[in-house]
Amino acid sequence: MKRLTDNILATLPKVIVLTAMAVIVALGMSAQEPDKRHVTPVKPETNRVQPPPKGTDEKIIQQYISGDSAAAVAEARKDSLRRVYYHYPLLTDIAVGVNLAEPLFMAFGQSYASADVNVTLNMWNRLQPTAEVGLGWAKSSADDLNFTYKGKPSPYFKVGVNYNFLFKNSPDYQVLLGIRLGYSPFTYDITEARYVNSYWQEYLTFDIRGEHSHALWGEAGAGLKVKLSGPWSLGWMIRYHSIFNYGKNEHSRPWFIPGYGPRNSSLGFSLSLYYTLPLHRGSNTDKP
């Protein structure tokens, strides 16, 4: 018993020493932890809030400030798509034009002309309903005619629509495909008509005056419209047209149809000077 007690007393100092050393090591490790945090401090610039890109929508900025970053990122993506594929308002602009093509041709010797005023409503910078109101007249004694044809100044009307293939771009420049439906009631005279009597070998002349007729036709065309300066633009279109029906008289057929041209023709051309009025603020120039 005495020997056991002596062994315990002999071992006790070693246990105390080892325990003390363990406590000292543990305290030293815990004391070093704050020093590690000071070795790599957070740089002040990493906490700095970067300003949003110029032009960022206010709604997106508020979402970032409120902490809703996921919604802000999604909205920013939608905003960027809107900038790439800009959508113009329903009523983009309205243009009033004057067709100058055939009066110019008539000044250089053409024997007929059709001049009109047209109004075009630009919707989404894509679809463009249009209406034309004009006046046509003619006077021709062509070599292939055995009479003189005089088409009295008569009205004509056209309605249709254009499609702008550059709808994602500025309205200042357009590539157009259009269709029209035209109608005209008109009056004409045929004078100095020559008739050969084969039996008597005599030439007879006669006049047919005050003939009334009408015509309904369709057109399909392609053209361009470009900005000149300010609200002024110039547009031209090549048109293929075909008559659906026209009024036939007992003694004559119309040679010229106002707004259409010679009855046997299939091509037409228009050259219009436009004045454009924007219907939505920024619709002409504020494409991002």
Find the helix or strand (DSSP H, E) in which 75 lies.
helix 69-84
Q: What is the mean pLDDT of residues 165-187?
A: 95
- Are 216 and 183 in contact by the 8 Å Cβ rule? The answer is yes
- Most confident stretch, 62-71, 243-252, 274-283: 243-252
pLDDT bucket at 77, cuts 50 / 70 / 90? low
DSSP notation for 29-72: HHHHHHHHHHHSPPPGGGGPPPPPPTT--HHHHHHHHHT-HHHH
Among 75-79, 139-143, 264-268, the minimum mean pLDDT is found in 75-79
Q: What is the pLDDT of residues 189-248, one digit of tens each?
A: 998 877 666 666 666 777 888 999 999 999 999 999 999 999 999 999 999 999 999 999
Q: What is the pLDDT of residues 94-124, one digit of tens each?
A: 999 999 998 899 888 899 999 999 999 999 9
pLDDT bucket at 36, cuts 50 / 70 / 90? very low
- Are 232 and 274 in contact by the 8 Å Cβ rule? The answer is yes
